[in-house]
Structure 1
Amino acid sequence: MSINIIEKNFGKIYFGNYKKRILFYSEKEKIDIVVSVPVSKKRKSQRGFNQVDEILNYLETKYCKIKRTKNTKKMALILDEEKRKKNIKGAFEISEGIDFNNKNILIVDDIVTTGATLKEIKNEILQSSKIKNLNIIVFCLAAAKEIKKSKGEI
């Protein structure tokens, strides 16, 4: 058996599980809008893709894109939570035509460590929509142990 076949089978199982979970949470939480966390232009040009977009495309999930307006330092290289917040501050912009008012939102990210990126996206959605309260659900592929235990909310 070649590695290629193993990778394809692993991908079907791995991503098939994510698709089931996204569908489950979409139905359970009555999700209206799925939002992909964007990577910076610099990182996208280096990689050639946004991994979250690729996953959502593979899962055939309809989603909207927000803009990343700032090339930030890699969050994985910043361990201090306050420095992470400062690094990501002002990094996002909501595209015109996206209406978040009275919507249940699912934000999809690959890795959540402190939640700084998600909090910044939430703040930008609140500012752009001029609403005070949102129902945001987060779906991530991996989360730091600390966020699971102590933070829990964005």
Structure 2
Amino acid sequence: MPSPADSNAKKKSRTWLWVSLAIVVLGAGGGGWWWWQSQQAAHAAIKAAKPQRSPAQYYALEPAFVVNLVDADAVRYLQADVQLVTRDNETRAAVETHAPAIRNHLLLLFGQQSVAQLSQRSGKERLQAAALAEVRQVLKHEAAPDKVEAVIFTSLVTQ
């Protein structure tokens, strides 16, 4: 028959077992909570550090551009619908203000092209890059914001 001392020792042993288990569970829970909080803070810091992009704003240069091309063998034309892309409100306002000067420069640029230059995608992309440079140059010359990101052709027809 077990003595009362043995019974008392088993109760103390079980009590310590439960206390130890509770400490481990609480420690793991606290550690998990701390880790989760640090991860949330890290994600918030990364999100705050990323610059937020404004939505793209498109400005259509209307009416469509129609110019004679420089081909010597025949009379050829280019018709282009052009839109400018910016994410800056001040640049958009500057584009609206200086649209006549921008159109003039683009008309001159488009009139220097030939059908052979525009027959390949690479030629059209070079024309877009040159048009973007022209637009930025006009805005810089006018001391206006020049944060135009792209010149987009929504229609480009040669004939």
With the length of structure 1 as denominator, give the TM-score of the two structures: 0.29
Structure whose residues are more often helix by fraction: 2
Bigger radius of gyration? 2
TM-score (norm 2): 0.29
